A and B are shown apart, each in its own frame.
Chain A
């Protein structure tokens, strides 16, 4: 066994960590970034980009730039949720064989495991570069409520990327591990994990060095992306109202709107009001460029997302009920995922759980760190202290660098500069700071693409929360862009594909424009300097390294029986690995084949559960009905992945079984992809 890393493959961002000299360490990319956008882009020149370079292409080449692909993984395209989001995506998603989604980019068709594999391969190469050793073993995390197909698709993606998967680990469980509880404690903790695409709540009980998951619940279609979408909708609505033109008709404009919406969301975590101006978002009659100023208050944003946040709270209630606990019996609350930075989310969670949450590990990194710790506990191997690549200490505030006035950080790729580490957040918690490299602003892509230079974004200088940065004065009425004559209807605004794309601009009206910051740098969450997040990374104690995880399966598993009923075989939240069996027999004379539909869910009725796939038993001895009995064994392994086998009760011999899961790739397709990507 070699050294294994932990990877959090997120909907919006991914993060890799490894244990080195008894400490968890986030693996940075060449420019020192600790979080990599989960985006891949197919450059017309033939290169396949991933991470930040791919994200930069979102507004340049939206059709060939794939983001939020985790939301599509392991799903059937026909579901209502899928129909809704694929409509919003600027890239093309169509129906492939067996109803699985297929992405079209640069004239080729890609399955979701393949797209995920490209991202994982990028992360793997980043590890090799940064750590100087080849990493081929991994613990990869998934939302606790990922179903069987989503889990196995993730595993397949890792295989295509050349990884040997040690474990598919639930994200909340990983987060709990990162907090390094354990030792000689007995406590119950709740992990509230609100990410870019999914929401999970998990209740864990710690006893000595055993982590026992008591319950888990969540939604695989609720996340920060949905908050962005609310802002996008509002922007679109306002623009339509003002200019009678739907921005949705122009994919480039829409992508700019989306990018700005995400940043507005992030800024609203620190500001009471944010105003953004998108310059030349569309063109009016005679090619007159139209700028779009959009203003939103935090209160308005909160009213738009409140129902979504409430949904997460209702799920918390459900998970407590499953664990047969009430709020008062919990000892700790951990927040995970970028969406937990939203003040409304924090407020609601705090109210519901009636306690202050623990947040001292960066919510974007905590899952990867936990995965790295688990990888270490499985392999017993860590990275030695003396690395081939030198690592210099850096400021702990990851985001502060980005807020430096540009003249300071403008000389790109400045030599690394050491700064004293800030004191730990909680002095009672002796959590040592991990060494980090200092980074200047990431170097812009040295390519001859004209657009990257043009993509400058005017960012407001973000101010501390109090006093409010923006004086609350009534918004000046938006000047009409098109002079409307009383009788004739206003000519429709004609949008043109800007060529090259016009620079998106976020500008705060009352202030002089802040120095422009390159989009590459501005990509990260913008945080005011005062509230700079200083996070700690836990020491991997001997206790954490020997921790035993007892996890559960998120959903029940059942088979369809006569009359549209579902017979539950494995119950929800059963500890894994788990095995249950059922006897099946033929229902007609001389029947040689039996097909069993497998459902995920807890409902008595099949239509309220999700069809996972079908088990086919063949080669059955022709006999009067009911005579042949076949025992079918359903097993969920430690990765939460379903396996099915069957035994003929008469002969004791293994019965021919074929399991066909919806939304997944078959073995031949997987092997083809493995060999395709192992060559390149």
Chain B
């Protein structure tokens, strides 16, 4: 590697700036009707220049830009070479979406602690333990969570609740004294 071409680096930064607006076809420089071998050829020729391994001597800003561009190139190549994905992508592109965003689109509701349990029975006992703890029935809470733990095995939510119950039990003991 003999020194970097400043023009190429400037080009990289420019592309990086507009990356979000480039659709996969423009990114790879192929026609909307391009067939797989053509896409492959285009991808390989761009990859030869934009792969992070080929740009190890770039400065940090350029490196980061190249890395991001290459990730997008990989994505474009993967989608356009897969018939089903490409159909979906083309539909989305009509609506102005430059990425096949089944990512980003969907809002996922992350689980409540209870939903992290895979066993139905464990969920039931977990719920009962929570209820018992709320009502101050610590012995019952302790029993239920232990059963839940047995059914489920290792689980963070159970462990956390166990700790809570243990702490409450310890405090109760202290008060008695």
A582 and B103 form a contact (CB under 8 A): yes
CB distance from B74 to the nearest CB of A (A): 5
B47 and A576 form a contact (CB under 8 A): no
Q: Write the chain A residue with the least CB distance to B73.
A: A575
- Does B116 have its Cβ within 8 Å of any Cβ on chain A? yes
Question: Which residues in A have their C-beta under 8 angstroms from that of B103?
Answer: 569, 580-582
- Does A606 have its Cβ within 8 Å of any Cβ on chain B? yes
B108 and A575 form a contact (CB under 8 A): no
Bound together, the chains give a CA A597 to CA B157 distance in angstroms of 11
CB within 8 Å for A594 and B110 given contacts A562-B115, A606-B118: yes
CB distance from B176 to the nearest CB of A (A): 33
Residue-wise interface mask of A (195-230) relative to B, using a CB-CB cutoff of 8 A (1 in contact, 0 not): 000000000000111101000000000000000000
Q: Which parts of B98-157 form the interface with A (CB within 8 Å)? A: 103-112, 115-116, 118, 154, 156
Bound together, the chains give a CA A156 to CA B16 distance in angstroms of 32
A577 and B74 form a contact (CB under 8 A): yes
Q: Quick check: which of A245-253, A426-434, A462-470, A584-592 contacts chain B, the rest being far away?
A: A584-592
CB distance from B85 to the nearest CB of A (A): 10
Question: Which residues in A have their C-beta under 8 angstroms from that of B47?
Answer: 210, 548, 550
Bound together, the chains give a CA A607 to CA B120 distance in angstroms of 13
B112 and A587 form a contact (CB under 8 A): yes
A interface residues, tally (CB under 8 Å): 49
Question: Which residues in B have their C-beta under 8 angstroms from that of A377?
Answer: 53
Question: Which residues in B have their C-beta under 8 angstroms from that of A210?
Answer: 44, 47-48
Bound together, the chains give a CA A586 to CA B77 distance in angstroms of 34
Bound together, the chains give a CA A577 to CA B108 distance in angstroms of 24
- Does A378 have its Cβ within 8 Å of any Cβ on chain B? yes
CB distance from A565 to the nearest CB of B (A): 10
Q: Which parts of A597-635 form the interface with B (CB within 8 Å)? A: 597, 606-607, 614, 626, 629, 631, 635
Inter-chain residue pair count (beta carbon < 8 A): 96
- Does A97 have its Cβ within 8 Å of any Cβ on chain B? no
Within 8 Å by CB of B56, from A209, A378, A564, lies A378
Within 8 Å by CB of B107, from A562, A564, A629, A635, lies A629
A583 and B53 form a contact (CB under 8 A): no
- Does A579 have its Cβ within 8 Å of any Cβ on chain B? yes
Question: Which residues in B have their C-beta under 8 angstroms from that of A588?
Answer: 112
Question: Which residues in B have their C-beta under 8 angstroms from that of A564?
Answer: 118
- Does A559 have its Cβ within 8 Å of any Cβ on chain B? yes
Q: Write the chain B residue with the least CB distance to A212.
A: B44
Interface residues of chain B, those whose CB is within 8 Å of chain A, are 1, 40, 44, 47-48, 51-54, 56, 67, 70-71, 74-75, 77-78, 103-112, 115-116, 118, 154, 156
Q: Write 16 A-B pairs (CB below 8 A) sorted by A numbering.
A: A99-B154, A548-B51, A562-B111, A574-B78, A577-B67, A577-B74, A581-B104, A583-B104, A583-B107, A583-B108, A585-B109, A587-B110, A587-B111, A587-B112, A594-B110, A595-B156
Given contacts A583-B105, A583-B107, 15 further A-B contacts (CB under 8 A): A1-B56, A207-B44, A209-B48, A378-B53, A380-B1, A561-B110, A562-B109, A575-B78, A580-B103, A582-B106, A582-B108, A587-B111, A595-B156, A606-B118, A629-B107
